[in-house]
Amino acid sequence: MKSLVVDDEITTRMLLDRMLSEYGQCDTASNGKEAVEAFLLAVKEGKPYDLICLDIKMPESTGDEVLEEIRKIEENIGVSEQNKAKIIMATSVNDEEMVLNTVVNLGCNSYILKPITKNKVVKNLKELDLIQE
């Protein structure tokens, strides 16, 4: 499994990197611009991400904006629905309406409320059929 973690907080990036590295390659980005660049590079190299973990609240560009851009790129290059990256949004805001909007309208696959724990991550990975344990 190839993963990309996008969060402006270094501690969250490091935590998720440590957790996801157990399952394969994990790259990190500190903002939305880096995330889109990493995504495009992975696609260009023919090794797209299986999983992208995005923080919703980031400076410069929000996780929602990055999610929308990634989904547009996938659509433009003809990625089938089953081959699209699984995207998990992470947020500290327990706003069900905002989360549902992101999941339903923008194509997010799941979300995790912070604080992030290994149990939450593993549960999501299993539900998205990215791992079996």
All domains of the chain in start order, with CATH: 3-126 (3.40.50.2300)
Sign of the CA dihedral 39, 52, 28, 67? positive
pTM for this predicted structure: 0.91
Q: What is the pLDDT along the chain (133 residues), one digit of tens a residue?
A: 999 999 999 999 999 999 999 999 999 999 999 999 999 999 999 999 999 999 988 888 888 899 999 999 999 999 998 999 999 998 876 666 666 666 666 788 988 888 999 999 999 999 999 998 6
Task: Give the residue among 54, 108, 53, 51 at the shortest CA–CA distance from 85.
Answer: 51
Find the helix or strand (DSSP H, E) in which 90 lies: strand 86-91
Q: Do the Cβ atoms of 88 and 54 come closer than 8 Å? A: yes
pLDDT at site 58: 85
Phi, psi torsion values for 68, nearest 5 degrees: -60, -40
